[in-house]
Amino acid sequence: MAKRYYWPKKAIFLITTLLIFMVIVMSAFDREVPYTKDDQTHDSIASVTAFTQVYKVLMSPRCMNCHPSGDVPLQGDDSHLHTMLPRRGKDGKGLYAMKCTNCHQPENTPGVRTPPGNANWHLPPADMKMVFQGKTAHELARQLVDPKRNGRKNMAQLIAHADDDLVLAGWNPGEGRTLPPISHAEFKKAWLTWIRNGAFAPAP
Amino acid sequence: MISLNINNKTYSLEADADTPLLWVLRDIVGLVGTKYGCGVAQCGACVVHLNGEAVRSCVTKVSRAIGQKVVTIEGLSEKNDHPLQKAWLELDVAQCGYCQAGQIMAAAVLLKENKQPTDADIDIAMAGNICRCGTYLRIREAIHLAADIQQKSKKR
């Protein structure tokens, strides 16, 4: 007869355990994870507005000159073809006796309009040219978020790219060259606002 | 005191790390085959090899060459018999000669990476080397001849 008292106890224990488990699972679904919340707040207006700033920078000579539509880099504030017509080459680092770093040193060369420098000076490679020149804001925004056309970058890598050494070099172009239209801090803010609000492309 | 490997020889010398390699080569080491043209990497007269690449020594700080391998026109071959040097003599390429060391050093990188360059390949590779005398057509012909000499010497 004593056995009959054990059944309800076991059942209560089991039901309680199940309830606790369910509460834990439900609370996990309700929990806010900061970065996902950020990524999922898709304010398309804020995103597109920020991209107009980003676009102005990317189309400035300091960025666009190394993202040409052809295989010769551009040069100067008027974005003319680079004198001597150096070529992109397979890896974006030039060809034969005309490799980028033959003239472009790890740092800017002193003097007005002498070769600007960076240890990693190069164009995008031949198999992914990442062209800026001639692109509309819509086309460029679409290209930037497409890993097949943006250097195989995911969103996290795209965010980190704002602080890339060669990107930063745009704000240290050497004597005689204009700076991008806004500061790097403003650019980075616009870049992050654009991406974190959904990386929307402006209308075509 | 810095140590440089130039033409397979080690040199210990006093120079500021920011000194252009060209001035170290010419004024300190005494290798005057490499010429000063523009001083801003626009003409190619000062081309030397840094680890096999045709760098412009007028804008290359000597600090970049420390621990690396530098080759000047004087060290391109042991007996002045590099295929390019043979071709240059055969076709009497030089007129005043001032740019020719840079031309040959640039062409040597081209021939190393492309054994039988076309006219277009040569034009791309040599577009950064200016010749005031306008010897461009002879330079192009000489590079073709040097490519043939290089091929023949390998077949032997």
Which ipTM was obtained for this model? 0.95
Buried b (16+ CB within 10 A) or exposed e, B117-133: beeebbebbbbbbbbee
Distance from CA of A36 to the nearest CA of B (A): 46
Domain closes at, from B43, B75, B107: B75
List C-alpha distances in Å: B44 to A4, A97, B31, B47. Answer: 101, 10, 17, 6
- pLDDT tens per residue, range B84-113: 999 999 999 999 999 999 999 999 999 999
Residues 6+ apart with CB under 8 A from A90: A125, A126, A127
Residue A113 or B28, more confident: B28
Flag whether A73 is in a domain.
yes
Domain closes at, from B26, B53, B75: B75
Could you count the other beta carbons within 10 Å of the beta carbon of residue A21? 10
Count of the separate structural domains present in chain B: 2
Do residues B67 and B112 both lie within one domain?
no
In A, which residues are within 8 Å of B110 by CB distance? 96-97
Domain span including residue B91? 83-155
Do residues B93 and B133 both lie within one domain?
yes
The rounded mean pLDDT for chain B is: 97
Do residues B57 and B121 both lie within one domain?
no
Q: pLDDT above 70 covers what percent of chain B?
A: 99
Smallest CA–CA distance from B115 into chain A, residue: A96
pLDDT number for residue A24:
55
Nearest CB to B124; choose among A98, A109, A115: A98
In B, which residues are within 8 Å of A98 by CB distance? 54, 124-125, 127-128
- pLDDT tens per residue, range A116-144: 999 999 999 999 999 999 999 999 999 99
A96 CB within 8 Å of a chain B CB: yes
Do residues B92 and B70 both lie within one domain?
no
pLDDT number for residue A37:
41
Do residues B27 and B66 both lie within one domain?
yes
Do residues B65 and B127 both lie within one domain?
no
Flag whether A67 is in a domain.
yes
Residues 6+ apart with CB under 8 A from A180: A56, A57, A60, A62, A63, A170, A171, A187
Domain span including residue A45? 41-80+129-196
Q: Domain with B56 in it: what CATH number? A: 3.10.20.30
- The length of chain A, given as a count of residues: 204
Do residues B91 and B110 both lie within one domain?
yes
Do residues B89 and B138 both lie within one domain?
yes
Do residues B69 and B126 both lie within one domain?
no
- Please give chain A's pLDDT, 204 residues, in tens: 444 555 667 777 777 777 776 655 554 443 333 333 445 568 999 999 999 999 999 999 999 999 999 999 999 999 999 999 999 999 999 999 999 999 999 999 999 989 999 999 999 999 999 999 999 999 999 999 999 999 999 999 999 999 999 999 999 999 999 999 999 999 999 999 999 999 999 999
Cα A191–Cα A193–Cα A197 angle in degrees, nearest 5: 125
Residues 6+ apart with CB under 8 A from A136: A204
In B, which residues are within 8 Å of A109 by CB distance? 40-41, 59
pLDDT number for residue A199:
96
Flag whether A75 is in a domain.
yes
Smallest CA–CA distance from A114 into chain B, residue: B40
Flag whether A48 is in a domain.
yes
pLDDT number for residue A17:
76
Half-sphere exposure of residue A31: CA atoms within 13 angstroms, side-chain side: 8
Do residues B87 and B57 both lie within one domain?
no
Flag whether A58 is in a domain.
yes
Could you count the other beta carbons within 10 Å of the beta carbon of residue A202? 18
pLDDT number for residue A21:
67
In A, which residues are within 8 Å of B119 by CB distance? none
Q: What is the pTM of this model?
A: 0.86
Q: Which of residues 100-119 of A touch B (CB under 8 A)?
A: 101-103, 105-106, 109, 111, 114-115
Residue A16 or B145, more confident: B145
pLDDT number for residue A16:
76
Identify any residues that bridge with B10 across adjacent strands, giving them in sequence order.
B5
Do residues B12 and B69 both lie within one domain?
yes
Asked if A85 lies within 8 A of B124 by C-beta distance, the reply is yes
Distance from CA of A85 to the nearest CA of B (A): 7
Domain closes at, from B30, B57, B75: B75
Q: pLDDT above 90 covers what percent of chain B?
A: 97
Do residues B70 and B30 both lie within one domain?
yes
Q: Domain with B141 in it: what CATH number? A: 1.10.150.120
Flag whether A150 is in a domain.
yes
